A = this chain, B = another copy of it.
Amino acid sequence: MKQRNCMIGQSGGPTTAINASLAGVIKEAMDSLVFQTIYGAVYGVEGLLNGNYIKLSSIFNDTQLLETLKLSPSMYLGSCRYKLPPLPKNKDTKISEYEAIFSLLNALSITDFFYIGGNDSMDSVMKLTSYAALHQIPIQFIGIPKTIDNDLYGTDHTPGFGSAAKFVATSMLEIIHDSMFYNTDSVTIVEIMGRNAGWLTAAASLARSEGQAAPHLIYLPEVPFDVASFLGEIKELRKTTQNIIIAVSEGIHDKDGNFIDDGILDMGEENNTVSHKTDAFGHVIHEGTGKSLERLVKNTFGCKCRSIELNVLQRCALHISSKTDLEEAFWIGQAAVKASLSGASGVMMTLKRLSSSDGSYQTEIETISINEIANVEKKVPLSWISKSGTDITEEFYEYLLPLIEGEVTTHYHNGLPSYIDVCHLK
């Protein structure tokens, strides 16, 4: 019988769940007893170009280590933001990148290739699948979704999103509490990740589950941002609300597509333009979306205003991950191996939300053709945004709520979470 080995890679930006998916693939691949060696591509497909890989089956024969991997942030295998070149028109055209990758896969007798990533990574899966088909190379390719942005098409949601949403909602709740202790008017602006899609910013609304009215305004990139309307909303709110909390996506922009953080917003009530102040090197100074709006509010209302950028903790604060998310991430990794062993290839694994009679949350795992979803960006449907453009609908809230359910039990040592060592990346 022909030797069967598999290769796993991670690509794109991290989530706190991407290592759980890796653990799921390793676990199922080991338990299947089908694979002789389980390889890991170090730094994704870009690493493979340089022959950079490790033997995961030798490292993870320790069950405890696999548990630690499941509960570790960042990307154990490293990552890349590398776009494979366009596919050759016919099988006789040689393209060095594909030659190098398939030569390595052949040398390692790889039969199954699992790639965990977002939109760009699914582009790689699609190209590798097509290249293999063109050259009749018998390797199966399976894409496993992940992204905190939740912008992948064909899946109810993406692994990694629920944990980022839980961090955003928890931080928002804590920031709301932190905004109420002085007896003075204030505006707090919380800047949340999501350049083009507002899924994660919308998760700020979950802080209301504790009976809070805040966040009072939520701005997603799907709705054009208008400075005058923004100031009008705050002016109105100030009549009834002492401490105003606002969630904004980093990617908000005006109707012409100009991002708020394109430069430094030079503003007054009648004069709002983005100017491009430059430093000694002639580089434009980007003040940031939150900081620009903070200055706008201070200048307009003269009240206390602060902005808080949640920053990369949204994608790496594993200690406050969603249990639902990490479990789904693990399962989808396992399911990818099962799908490959059943003969699937050129697909991405997807999560399908089931409708249950008692309203409880359930999902099942399916597959979708990689050609249908690669390079398609899923934005928040406008029907899930309130007519005012400053809030989300009840339906959207109900969609979000189950995704942050459950807490993970991280092991602590010396007061800190114990995460896996990634010394092979140094």
Contacts and interface: CB of A to CB of B under 8 A. Distances in A.
A277 interface: yes
A425 B178 CA distance: 12
A33 interface: no
Contacts of A413: 209-210
A27 interface: no
Contacts of A211: 421
Which of A182, A295, A419 has the most B CB atoms < 10 Å from its CB?
A: A182
B181 A425 contact: yes
Task: Give the secondary structure class of A's interface.
Answer: mixed
A226 to B, nearest CB: 18
A126 to B, nearest CB: 23
A312 interface: yes
Interface stretch (A98-106, A231-239, A279-287, A369-377): A279-287
Contacts of A142: none
A209 B414 contact: yes
A309 B298 CA distance: 20
A14 B407 contact: no
Given A183-B46, A183-B80, A316 B178 contact: yes
A87 interface: no
A309 B312 contact: no
A391 B281 CA distance: 31
A277 B277 contact: yes
A264 B279 contact: yes
Contact of A271 (B79, B280, B418): B280
A419 B279 contact: no
Contacts of A258: none
B416 A207 contact: yes
A51 interface: no
A166 interface: yes
A208 to B, nearest CB: 10
A393 B209 CA distance: 45
A78 interface: yes
B316 A416 contact: no
- The count of identical subunits is 2
A297 to B, nearest CB: 12
A132 interface: no
Contacts of A298: 283
Nearest to A309: B309
Given A169-B416, A280-B267, A312 B183 contact: no
7 contacts: A74-B178, A80-B183, A169-B415, A174-B318, A210-B413, A210-B414, A401-B414
B182 A81 contact: yes
A257 interface: no
Interface residues of A, number: 79
Nearest to A422: B180
B415 A206 contact: yes
Contacts of A180: 74, 78, 422, 425-426
A175 interface: yes
Contacts of A170: 319, 416-417
Contact of A308 (B166, B268, B311, B322): B311
A202 B120 CA distance: 39
Which of A183, A418, A426 has the most B CB atoms < 10 Å from its CB?
A: A183
B416 A210 contact: yes
Interface in A1-33: 10, 14
B422 A177 contact: yes
A80 to B, nearest CB: 7
B426 A242 contact: yes
A146 interface: no
A417 B73 CA distance: 21
Interface in A305-340: 306, 308-309, 311-313, 315-320, 322
A266 interface: yes
Given A43-B182, A267-B280, 5 more contacts: A78-B180, A210-B416, A264-B285, A308-B311, A407-B412
